[in-house]
Amino acid sequence: MKLKVKEINFETGNAKDIVLNIKDAEELGQKAGERVFIKNIRSRSIENKYWAAIIQIDHLGSIVKAGEIGLFRNLLRDKKDLKNETVVSVKPADPPDSFKYIQKKIKGQKLSSEEINNIISDAVSGSLSRIDLAAFITAVSINGMDNEEMTALALSETRTGEIFYFGMDVYDKHSTGGVPGNKVSLIIVPIVAAAGLTIPKSSTRAITSPSGTADSMEVLAPVAFTPEELKKIVSEENACMIWGGALEIAPADNLLIEIERPLHMDPIGLMIPSILTKKLSLGVKKLVLDIPVGEGTKFSTPEKGKQFAYLFKEIAANVGIEAECALTLAHQPIGHAVGPALEAKEALTLLRDYSAGPNSLIEKSTDLAGILLEMSGKAQKGMGQSMAKDILRSGKAYEKMKKIIKAQGGDPEIKPEDIKLGPYVKEFFSSKEGYIVEVNNSIINQIAKTAGCPSSKTSGVEIIKKQGAKIKEGEFVFKIYSHSESKLRKAEKIYNLNNPIRLGGMIITRV
């Protein structure tokens, strides 16, 4: 069947969706959600091949008429040879072989490397729908993947995108997440780079947390770059802190993450390949993995964290990455600031003045940076943290951070007081005297996100007093910033109903 392209002037969550009029769909014998193959019949390009798309149907003819095929703006951006009035050939497509392999995993059977390659290749080409991939994610969540499957998946996902080369020895740090205020990468990267190591730090924007490394760094400098711009930055400063989503790395992994998010699934069988895929894409050879352990994290006990660490190290070795894992405390936020601007401000304050602390940020940052320094041979075993603290204390890390900010297009002379915070503020004071025995991470995350994080850079919270502190009645303990007066009121309500700071006493909670 030959149809004329009609541009639909909005975007869809699935870049492979197309719209057919009900009459054309019936003539093709296709239903909504089924596949068709499409080809530009007038293009003479060697690369002009049939590509797969997923049908959506217009029953009323209000979007596309009979004889037209509706293509969304995001699809037309990818298919540069297509535009309004272009004539394309459309024919039904049977489910690809990879669909059978997904069914195999649903039944709990092991997949071969070739079968995994087929699934990933078809995911990127659009031959598999989002429903198919959701089934694959659910199957892995229920049945898991063994070491060979995870190794094959990491390598297969890496091959779907660009792979950078920054030298023989490239380092990185990653965290499995779960702790608010975990802005340690803003300290680790300049320490490690100041020591002469190459560390191209790529991260995602926050998904479930109030801020990710990319969100906080964006307060200080741009984080979205083309591959050519990235190569220039790293060649100049042997480091960067960027948003990986702007690069053409591991599109298959990005696609799976997009589907995992609304499913609220992050199975280990996909998590480990996902981490390693991004590191392989940036040429990383040595990696320290921060594994926060405790309530609210992916690993509630040290034993579960250790089991994951051993598994991760084995898969990493299979793909050529030397990894060391550090199980870290997750009982309260790192530092006192939660939210993009607040975290950038706290990190910049520490880089400029070691004595400004906070101690939890100093200890965790230098511990993890020290592991990388030991892995590189820059420091003797057991002496890495001491070396990292010396670099931080001396101001060398701050000077390197200024150079990274400049290379990424920011103002290297930015000061903590220059960073803008939300104009709507609410302070909270203790209603009684006592010792703080708990700072609840999940409630703090909830308050910060309700205030506007991470989409609003200026929103967030400050935890003035933390676990172990003795406080008096009426003492200042907590502060919320927001860009919106209504969001501030909602965040305030959550604080009043579920105080995240608990003082010592016999009552755990009131029901």
Distance (Å, rounded) from C-alpha 231 to C-alpha 410? 17
Catalytic residue among 266, 353, 367, 418: 266
* β partners of residue 35: 54
Pair of tokens at residue 201: 């730090």
Pair of tokens at residue 312: 């991760």
* β partners of residue 438: 502
Active site residue 266: yes
Sheet of strand 501-503, all strands in order from the earlier edge strand to the far edge = 470-471, 434-439, 501-503
Distances (CA, A) of 40 to 9, 63, 87, 207, 390: 20, 21, 6, 37, 62
Say how many CA atoms lie within 13 Å of 281 toward its Cβ: 29
Phi-psi region of 430 (alpha: psi -120 to 50; beta: other; left: phi over 0): beta
Contact between 2 and 13 under an 8 Å Cβ cutoff? The reply is no
Nearest CA among 193, 407, 145, 156 for reference residue 281: 156
Sheet of strand 286-293, all strands in order from the earlier edge strand to the far edge = 171-175, 286-293, 322-329
State the amino acid at position 313 in one-letter form: K
Pair of tokens at residue 43: 């293009």
Q: Is 33 exposed, middle or buried (0-12, 13-18, 19+ CB in 10 A)?
A: middle
Segments in 91-174 forming alpha helices (H): 97-106, 113-125, 130-143, 147-159
Mapping DSSP to helix (H, G, I), strand (E, B) and coil, where does residue 507 land? coil
Place of tokens 């659910």: 138
Segments in 160-299 forming alpha helices (H): 185-194, 213-217, 227-237, 251-263, 268-281
Place of tokens 């960027």: 242
Long-range Cβ contact pairs of 266-271 (< 8 A, separation 24 or more): 266/298, 267/137, 267/140, 267/141, 267/144, 268/144, 268/308, 268/311, 269/140, 269/141, 269/144, 269/145, 269/149, 269/150, 269/153, 270/137, 270/140, 270/145, 270/153, 271/176
Residues annotated as catalytic are 266
